[in-house]
Structure 1
Amino acid sequence: MSDTDFYRAFEDRYRGSRTLIKSRLRAYEPFLTPLLSLQKPAKSIDLGCGRGEWLEMTSGLGFDSRGVDLDDGMLSACRELGLNAARADALETLQELSDESVALVSAFHVVEHLPFDAVRQLVKEAHRVLAPGGILILETPNPENLVVGATNFYLDPTHIRPIPPLLLSFTTEYAGFLQNKVVRLQDAPELKMRKVALFDVLEGVSPDYGVVAQKEAPPEVLQLFNPAFTRDYGVSLDHLAKRYDHQADARAEQADARARQADIRAGQADARAEQADARARQADTRAEQADARAEQADTRAALADARAKEAEQRAAATAQSLQHALTSTSWRITAPLRLAGAPFRRITSAVKENRVASGTRRRIKAALRMTAHAVVRHPTLKHGVIRILDLVPPLRRRLRALLAPPPPSPRPAITAVRRPELILDDLSPNAQAIYQQLQAILETRES
């Protein structure tokens, strides 16, 4: 492969295919269509025409287009397509043109190959040769794209230095152009829809840009270009950086909001923990109180057990003492006196309480029955009493009269009268037995 084909091979690999380049160049069509009405035919000169994509496009739109380039390998591609292209220097070609003789001057990826003074001279000559309202297009790699400015720009060994958009647009203003527009190219369409990542800020800015400058013309001519000059093109570094910062701020705000929510939840958790601690302390207090009450209950139970044992001991001692008393000789000897004295003690108590009239006869009978019971239990006394009754018949009759049941009397109509036999029924079985024994004694003596 010859040296003349090096640059063409380089363009084929790194600039892209003809179809791709032509699709990118259509971004300038809004500026081209109004130009066709300025001249008949509208003339166009393309400086550094390369493989001829722009010549092919403008010729298809109706321009009388021609191009110049110094690279024979590039020019051969133009000749293969039958395009009007010649080997010539760009600045010398402009200098040879007459004033206001063309409608369009273009230079795609040329100015980065020139010293900046040559760029200024080229812009100045373009302003001279353009007709009123004519358009100058200067396209170059965009150093706003940090990857392009730091790396890709230097892939082409013939590049001298990157030119920022502000510098190139100011150069056209200084040369006398009425207005200019920076057209950023080849940005990813999806970048406008999705979130911006850090790498997008580094390499997502439009990798190429073009400065479109227009020469002064009557207002009716300029207004034809208003739609093209008033719209925005591509993605700038400032735009992407601001979007990234905005997203970062939004993420920071969301993180702050989540942190505040986490703080709120933590505060709520702390409050719940404090409440749980308070409930636990209350439960501990209640447990301590319950333990204290349990200890008090245990103490009272122990005291009650001790008192119960003491009572049992006293009861056992009392029962033992009572058993000794009941089995003693003195208790057996004094039993008749106690039996005989008990009724008389009750009579004395009745006298003191004014109850003698109602119960005297019954108490006397009870006393006699108890005495008869005691007499019957002691044979010696029994024989003595019988002898006494034999000696005193009136006493025997009196006792019979007292011990005899009263005669039945008519019952009142309303007030119920207790039957005499109920008195005997009211006595205990022992008393009834004594009464019957005493009656038997009396009946025996009388017979």
Structure 2
Amino acid sequence: MLTENFYRAFEDKYRGSRGMIKERLKIYLPFLFPLKALYPDTRVLDIGCGRGEWLELLKEHAIEAEGIDFDQGMLNACHEIGLKVRQGDGIAYLKEQADESLLAINAFHVVEHISFDQLHDLVNEAHRVLKPGGLLILETPNPENIRVATETFYLDPTHIKPIPSQLLSFLPEFYGYTRTKIVRLQESRDLINQQNINLWQVLDGASPDYAIIAQKNAAVETLKQFDELFSKDFGISLNLLTERFENRFQYMEAKATQAEAKATQAEAKATQAEANFHMLLNSRSWKITKPLRSTVKIAREFKTSAKHWVTFSSDSIPQKALFSLLETIRYQIQKHPRLALNMKNILFKIPGLRKKIKQLFHNQANHKKICIESPKLFIPDTQTISSDLKKSIKKHKEEK
């Protein structure tokens, strides 16, 4: 047995705030405004009114309404804001009403709590009590949403079983209502126009709630005021999501087929190119022109080498050899301070030579470092010069 305040606490936690629920319920107001104009002094009956969000919204729009609910804890929320409510059995109270005495009858999230026989009584009695053109609005969780049908529906311990929209819409037709409308509700706004959807959106994306709006027969002019509303599409169906999901895979398959075709074409072109290449290698003209191609290659290499020699560039063999020689001389001079002083005096008297030597070291430093201490890097002539220089320095020392 549930305690008095259990269901109110449950609704507060899982259904949403009053403000959010009132915002959701505004979708029904356009259906009621024409009836209010037709029957200004007729009231709406809210069966299972709960915390009274719908009653409060109707009051704000000057539509007379009364609510009824079993749960006193829920009704306390209505009393706190001065709403007209009573405790009791909604279907039993409906049976007490006079024929054609109500503007509209609604039951939001009630039908999943009652038996199918009670649902028959509710739909049948409502038809009797409604004014011509009056509306029966039944809102319930949507089992078309797979996550709702397999998980969230059973979060409420008082739920009996989900009711498919086709079944719930058939009942008013059976009891003589002139037309019914399935209104899917509370879907993600981002998903409405999204075409590229994933599997989770198929499972969880269909509108989690829906309502059946059934209208009692009336004069043609009365019904005509509701034609646009009854022809409008609401929410997202599972069929729509699966169609978009299937379209996505068809698009991906088409792209894969195009990519495969392009790969096949590329492979064919590569095969043809390889065949043409082998044909060229084996052709008579290719064999005849081989000496000419070799001559052109040698000429290019000679041109490059000659340019280095003529320009005396930093990468040329003469400049590398000269740099190595100077590095060796500098190394030997630095070991003998007196000789170093004499060389500085000589270079000071010959500024042009000093400038050239500095420029040579600068160019080589920018180009790359060359290890001159390894004789293996010297060309034969440079090695000879270096050896002669070392002997001269040694002889100079011995004479001293």
Task: Name 2:159's counterpart in structure 1.
Answer: 159
Q: Alignment partner of 1:169: what SS?
A: helix
- Give me the whole-angstrom Cα distance separating, in 1, the residues matched to 2:15 and 2:134: 28
- Give me the whole-angstrom Cα distance separating, in 2, the residues matched to 1:215 and 1:252: 49
Task: Name 2:29's counterpart in structure 1.
Answer: 29
Give the letter aligned to residue 91 of structure 1: I
- Give me the whole-angstrom Cα distance separating, in 2, the residues matched to 1:280 and 1:115: 89
TM-score between both structures, scaled by the size of structure 2 = 0.70
Q: Alignment partner of 1:45: what SS?
A: strand
- Give me the whole-angstrom Cα distance separating, in 2, the residues matched to 1:283 and 1:79: 106
Task: Name 1:207's counterpart in structure 2.
Answer: 208
Q: Deviation of residue 95 (structure 1)?
A: 0.4
Q: Deviation of residue 40 (structure 1)?
A: 2.5
Q: Deviation of residue 125 (structure 1)?
A: 0.5
Task: Name 1:197's counterpart in structure 2.
Answer: 198
- Give me the whole-angstrom Cα distance separating, in 2, the residues matched to 1:8 and 1:284: 96
Q: Deviation of residue 286 (structure 1)?
A: 3.2
Q: Alignment partner of 1:217: what SS?
A: coil
Q: Deviation of residue 282 (structure 1)?
A: 3.2
Q: Deviations over 1:219-256 (max 9, x none)?
A: 00001111111100000000111111112111111111
Contact 1:134 1:215 in 2 (8 A): yes
Q: Deviation of residue 59 (structure 1)?
A: 1.7
Residues matched between the structures, number? 289
Distance 1:281-1:45 versus aligned 2 partners, 3 A rule: same
Q: Deviation of residue 126 (structure 1)?
A: 0.6
Contact 2:139 2:212 in 1 (8 A): yes
Contact 1:36 1:62 in 2 (8 A): no
Task: Name 1:330's counterpart in structure 2.
Answer: none
1:10-29 matched pairs, under 5 angstroms: 10-29=10-29
Q: Deviation of residue 62 (structure 1)?
A: 2.0
Distance 1:42-1:261 versus aligned 2 partners, 3 A rule: farther
Q: Alignment partner of 1:213: what SS?
A: strand
Q: Deviation of residue 72 (structure 1)?
A: 0.9
Task: Name 2:129's counterpart in structure 1.
Answer: 129
1:166-315 matched pairs, under 5 angstroms: 166-194=166-194, 195-282=196-283, 286=287
- Give me the whole-angstrom Cα distance separating, in 2, the residues matched to 1:224 and 1:191: 31
Contact 2:42 2:101 in 1 (8 A): no
Q: In terms of Rg, which structure is larger? A: 1
- Give me the whole-angstrom Cα distance separating, in 1, the residues matched to 2:268 and 2:81: 77
- Give me the whole-angstrom Cα distance separating, in 1, the residues matched to 2:142 and 2:239: 13
Contact 2:192 2:235 in 1 (8 A): no
- Give me the whole-angstrom Cα distance separating, in 1, the residues matched to 2:46 and 2:135: 12
Task: Name 1:91's counterpart in structure 2.
Answer: 91
Whether 1:5 aligns to 2:5 is: yes
Q: Deviation of residue 260 (structure 1)?
A: 1.2
Q: Deviation of residue 283 (structure 1)?
A: 7.4
- Give me the whole-angstrom Cα distance separating, in 1, the residues matched to 2:100 and 2:181: 21
Q: Deviations over 1:297-333 (max 9, x none)?
A: xxxxxxxxxxxxxxxxxxxxxxxxxxxxxxxxxxxxx
- Give me the whole-angstrom Cα distance separating, in 2, the residues matched to 1:200 and 1:13: 25
Contact 1:38 1:103 in 2 (8 A): no
Q: Deviations over 1:82-139 (max 9, x none)?
A: 0001101011011000110001000000000011111111100111100100000000
- Give me the whole-angstrom Cα distance separating, in 1, the residues matched to 2:267 and 2:193: 37
Give the letter aligned to residue 30 of structure 2: P
- Give me the whole-angstrom Cα distance separating, in 2, the residues matched to 1:83 and 1:226: 32
Give the letter aligned to residue 119 of structure 2: V
Q: Alignment partner of 1:41: what SS?
A: coil
Q: Deviations over 1:409-435 (max 9, x none)?
A: xxxxxxxxxxxxxxxxxxxxxxxxxxx
- Give me the whole-angstrom Cα distance separating, in 2, the residues matched to 1:250 and 1:29: 41
Give unmatched runs, 5+ long, in structure 1: 291-447
Task: Name 1:113's counterpart in structure 2.
Answer: 113
- Give me the whole-angstrom Cα distance separating, in 2, the residues matched to 1:4 and 1:161: 23
Q: Alignment partner of 2:5: what SS?
A: helix
Contact 1:127 1:175 in 2 (8 A): yes
Detail structure 1 runs of 4+ shifted over 6 Å in the superposition: none
Give the letter aligned to residue 24 of structure 1: R
Contact 2:280 2:286 in 1 (8 A): no
More moved, 96-105 vs 192-201: 192-201
Q: Alignment partner of 1:4: what SS?
A: coil
TM-score between both structures, scaled by the size of structure 1 = 0.62
Q: Deviation of residue 179 (structure 1)?
A: 0.4
Q: Deviation of residue 176 (structure 1)?
A: 0.9
Give the letter aligned to residue 235 of structure 1: I
Q: Deviation of residue 193 (structure 1)?
A: 3.1
Task: Name 2:82's counterpart in structure 1.
Answer: 82
1:372-411 matched pairs, under 5 angstroms: none
Contact 2:112 2:161 in 1 (8 A): yes
Q: Deviations over 1:267-293 (max 9, x none)?
A: 222222222232234379938x99xxx
Contact 2:109 2:138 in 1 (8 A): yes
